[in-house]
Structure 1
Amino acid sequence: MTSSPPPPGPYRGLLLDFVGVLTANVRASVQGWCVAQGLHPRAWGTTLTHHPEGRRLYLDLEAGRLSQSEWNRRTAALLGVADHEDLMGRAWAGVGSDAAMIALARTARRAGLKVALLSNSFGLDPYDPYETLGVNGLFDVTVLSEVEGIAKPDPEIYRRTLERLGLDGGACVFVDDNPDNLPPARELGITTVHADGGPDLAARVAALLDLPLQEADGVGREGATEVSTRSPGAV
């Protein structure tokens, strides 16, 4: 049986957020969908983040208290969209994966690092964003808020991720586009990287991990790194 080589630098683990880190074109896709529905381009973000009921429904979806199908039905009514079937999937139809970050995750695993997905998720059925964008096979550990019943920035979800990786915080790097999610990780000794929408994210993380930046290879629907969206609702 072959074993992975030891990681080249001081880090042993890489924790990755999903939206804004492994995705591309979320904002353009969702805003384009809104326009096609005859809505204001920012209707999605406004409803999910500022409308009291819309915000409550989205938080319930993240924490697994509400199924995606039920969320689709209730949120479509708030948006004024008649067809609620696969609402999330239709709005996300044009979203792609960030090829450079996908390639980096693969490089990290080949170099012997453990890689975890730590995502405030938003349902898996009928639309599974992780399967659709082809990222499921990238991780040693997958921690989803809807499965755990808690979401970032609750410190417990970071602790669970470290426990499942079998690593201390000081051995890990965490990448997230929402700055509110970084302090709890730092409290656990994790080195954090803010995915601020710049085109050099993969290069910055690769340099921190002392890894070569590999040529991006095809996964899902590829695209360039976009301006940070923080969550599927913040568009």
Structure 2
Amino acid sequence: MSYRGLILDFGGVLTTRMKLNGDAFEKSEGLAPGTYFAALGRHPEGIRVYADLEVGRATQDDWNRVIGGILGIDPTDLMRRALANLRPEPVIVDAARRARDAGIRTALLSNSFGLEPFNPYEELGILGDFDAVILSELERVRKPSPAIYQRALDDLELTGPECVFVDDHAPNLPPAEALGITTIHHTDPDATATQLNALFSQ
């Protein structure tokens, strides 16, 4: 199979691991270990506001206010502080650039962190490496809905079997596979880069 497209998740794939970023945020804010992730993934209001943010039903300021309230910290520009330790993952960014230089069409596909007042995609300076950028906030649909993968394919003007998709969250992979997209569950940057090199050298 000759692949023509590469679709990459943002947080935890094109960036350093979200867990490391969250751990650093907890330390900087004086929070007990695990508190931040509990607010996002176990607190009902935290789960709701994050889901709403991802599809544009809530603003980043809403998220800042709700998560700040759950954590008992200043909500001012909280998303910026929460993502302050996130960095581009050089091995994956380099792999994406090499693919694009070789004629592969590339897309960034992300469940959104919000764009205002803090835009993490611009902050990390990697948007120029992609032919298409698909953000759930703008699309009003988020992974793992099949619709957002189809929009990525449409933006790339490619079919599923022509593309590879990389995500660190395993439940996001089956809907892409249902469209014929080859998937990689990202757990280690070097391992993912090796897999990408093998696929695109076929």
TM-score normalised over the length of structure 2 = 0.95
The letter for the 2-side match of 1:116 is: A
Contact 1:26-1:95 within 8 A present in 2 as well: yes
Q: Which amino acid aligns with 1:72?
A: N
Q: Hey, what's the Cα distance between the residues in 2 that align with 1:146 and 1:98?
A: 23
Instruction: From 62, 66, 79, give the equivalent of 1:74.
Output: 66
Structure 1 or 2: larger helix share?
2
Greater mean deviation of Cα atoms: 190-199 or 11-20: 190-199
Determine the C-alpha separation between the residues in 1 that align with 2:17 and 2:109.
20
1:18 equivalenced with 2:10 (yes/no): yes
CA–CA separation in structure 1 for the residues paired with 2:192 and 2:134: 22
Equivalent residue, structure 1, for 2:160: 169
- Deviations for 1:195-234, whole angstroms, at most 9, x for unmatched residues? 02364221221111118xxxxxxxxxxxxxxxxxxxxxxx
After superposing on structure 2, the runs of 4+ consecutive aligned residues of structure 1 that deviate more than 3 Å are: none
Corresponding position: 1:112 with 2:103: yes
* 1:88-145 residue CA offsets vs partner (Å, 9 max, x unmatched): 1112111111001111111111111110111111101122111111111011111100
Identity %: 48
**Distance in structure 1 (CA, Å) of the matches to 2:131 and 2:21:** 29
How far, CA to CA, are the matches of 1:105 and 1:199 in structure 2? 13
- Which residue does the alignment assign to 2:46? 54
Corresponding letter in the other structure for 1:138: D
**Residue 98 (structure 1) aligned to one of 89, 106, 109:** 89
Q: Structure 2 stretches of 5 or more lacking a match?
A: none
SS state at 2:23 partner:
helix
Alignment RMSD: 1.4
Task: Using structure 1 for the length normalisation, give the TM-score.
Answer: 0.82
Q: Which structure's relative contact order is higher, taking Cα pairs within 8 Å and 6+ residues apart?
A: 1
1:210 maps onto 2:201 in alignment: yes
Instruction: Kindly provide the amino acid, as one letter, of the partner of residue 184 in structure 1.
Output: P
Q: Distance in 2 between matches of 1:26 and 1:20?
A: 5
Deviation at 1:146, TM superposition (A): 0.3
Provide, for residues 68-93 of structure 1, a one-character-per-residue CA deviation record: whole Å limited to 9, x for no partner. Answer: 11210121011111x11110111211
Instruction: Give 2:162's aligned amino acid.
Output: A
How big is the shift at 1:163? 1.1
Q: Is the 8 A contact 1:25 1:94 kept in 2?
A: no
- Displacement of 1:33: 2.1
Q: Distance in 2 between matches of 1:25 and 1:19?
A: 7
What is the aligned length?
202
How far residue 25 of structure 1 moved from its aligned partner, in angstroms, is: 4.5
Corresponding residue for residue 218 of structure 1: none
